[in-house]
Amino acid sequence: MVVGEPTGLGTILTERFGGEEDEIYRASAPGRVNLLGGHTDYNDGFVLPVAIDRRTGVAVRPQADSRDGNDPSDRTVRVHSTNVGETRTFSLDSPTSEESWADYVEGVARLLAEDASNPRGFDMVVGGDVPMGGGLSSSASLELAVATALNEVWDLGKPAAELADRCWRAEREFVGVECGIMDQFVVALGERNRALFLDCRTREYERYRTDDDVRVVVTNTNVGHELVDSAYNERVSQCREAVELLDESLSDDVASLRDVSVAEFEEAKGTLPGTVRKRCEHVVYENERVREAAAAMESGDVRRVGELMGETHRSLRDLYEVSCEELDFVVETAETLDAELGSRMTGAGFGGCVVSLVRADSVEPFAEAVRTAYVAETGIEPDVFPCAVAEGSRVEDRPSN
């Protein structure tokens, strides 16, 4: 059985919680990497991510109804994670206070239950091959897999963009990270061989074909630094501070950093204190890079996309200060290799993964060179793997009647 493969998860579900396989709903959702647009989403800006062929699967069986002698208003949820090897139980009626991986499931279930006429409890098994905490959005992947399944189980009829919105709210309200919409959106709406250019303010999007001769290669540094969430929320509030100051000093209204052009930033940057100025400079120029990258993708200029990724990395490293030595080492090593078109850290930062664009015929030697250099430098074994650009969340199977 492939880990996370929804059929295998169904068997685990019946073995663990009982019931029949033909009562099971199955859904899955991918991880993602971000080609351009780092820390722009919560500033109402632009992003250019792709969904990847690493997925989280869920199998769900609603609590048996009263025909089986069950209480029809039973709102108990039992959820087992094959990755964590743990089962958690909660009730849809009252939030649990304990923090755990199951918060993502509970947060999504609780928000979606508000829109269901009679949300019954359920048993669920989750599992997959998106590395947890590696910057590939394992959390949004889990959220969307759960939401896509519950959309069926509770017959909610919500389109993918609305599920993405609910999952985003769940992460902010329930898990407490002030994240932007990028991860949930691309995990829900990604398409095979297409990058998604998203305007995070209007949520309008455009898809651009990826280049068949170029592969997305992920290097997981296998380091994670502490306090990622608090450092992330600190960046969010520094951006808010920049917005308040620029709203005073610029003649146009500034509701978010999205509203600040490069020219306006250059004119007003003297009014910003040092750290806030650096954060703001990153966001303002990064939005420009994303737009330029989208245009380059449209015209098939993948070399330019790669160059912009390198600029993004340096800006995240020097101005936004969310990189770390291991990520920088991988990017610098990758940049010395002929097959590489561009590399950058992906996700929130402080560890996790680098994403590179690599010529398709040289993926193996590229991976081996990065691996060897990284082990020699750090003594840590990285995971270097090519990814296909994959489809977003989807229902895999539902009971036939």
CB of 220 to ligand GLA, least distance (A): 15
The yes or no reply on residue 347 touching ligand GLA (CB under 6 A) is yes
The yes or no reply on residue 351 touching ligand GLA (CB under 6 A) is no
Catalytic, out of 44, 165, 183, 211: 183
CA angle 162, 21, 15 (to 5 degrees): 110
Stretch of 122-130, 174-182, 244-252, 334-342 contacting ligand GLA, by CB under 6 A: 174-182
Nearer to ligand GLA, 113 or 284 (CB): 284
Q: 305: which residues sit within 8 A by CB, 6+ positions away?
A: 35, 36, 293, 296, 297, 341, 342, 357
Nearer to ligand GLA, 126 or 290 (CB): 290
Burial 53-76 (b: 16+ CB within 10 A, else e): bbbbbbbbbbbbeeeeeeeeebbe
DSSP label at 399?
A: -
The yes or no reply on residue 348 touching ligand GLA (CB under 6 A) is yes
The yes or no reply on residue 179 touching ligand GLA (CB under 6 A) is yes
Number of residues that bind ligand GLA (CB under 6 A): 11
Q: In a 3-state reduction of DSSP, which class is residue 346? A: coil
The yes or no reply on residue 182 touching ligand GLA (CB under 6 A) is yes
Q: In a 3-state reduction of DSSP, which class is residue 342? A: strand
The yes or no reply on residue 46 touching ligand GLA (CB under 6 A) is no
Amino acid at 267: E
Of the candidates 292, 296, 344, 295, the residue with the CA atom closest to the CA atom of residue 320: 344
The string of DSSP letters for 46-67 reads EEEEEEEEEEEEEEEEEPP-GG
Strands 25-36 and 394-397: antiparallel
Tokens of 116: 């269901």
The yes or no reply on residue 183 touching ligand GLA (CB under 6 A) is yes
Please state, as a whole number, how many other Cβ atoms lie within 10 Å of the Cβ of residue 316.
Answer: 23
The yes or no reply on residue 305 touching ligand GLA (CB under 6 A) is no
Residue 338 half-sphere exposure, CB side, CA atoms within 13 Å? 3
CB of 331 to ligand GLA, least distance (A): 16
Question: Which of 57, 131, 180, 352 forms a contact with ligand GLA (CB under 6 A)?
Answer: 180
Please state, as a whole number, how many other Cβ atoms lie within 10 Å of the Cβ of residue 267.
Answer: 15
Stretch of 37-45, 110-118, 216-224, 250-258 contacting ligand GLA, by CB under 6 A: 37-45
Annotation marks residue 183 as catalytic: yes
The yes or no reply on residue 353 touching ligand GLA (CB under 6 A) is no
Nearer to ligand GLA, 38 or 342 (CB): 38
CB of 253 to ligand GLA, least distance (A): 24
The yes or no reply on residue 103 touching ligand GLA (CB under 6 A) is no
8 Å CB contact between 175 and 100: no
Please state, as a whole number, how many other Cβ atoms lie within 10 Å of the Cβ of residue 198.
Answer: 28
Q: Which of residues 118-157 bind ligand GLA (CB under 6 A)?
A: none
DSSP label at 331?
A: H
CB of 164 to ligand GLA, least distance (A): 12
Question: Which of 41, 44, 143, 391 forms a contact with ligand GLA (CB under 6 A)?
Answer: 41
Nearer to ligand GLA, 39 or 120 (CB): 39
CB of 349 to ligand GLA, least distance (A): 7
Nearer to ligand GLA, 182 or 294 (CB): 182
Q: How far apart are CA 297 and CA 209, in angstroms?
A: 7
The yes or no reply on residue 42 touching ligand GLA (CB under 6 A) is yes
Annotated active-site positions, please?
183
Which residues make up the interface to ligand GLA (CB under 6 A)? 34, 38-39, 41-42, 179-180, 182-183, 347-348
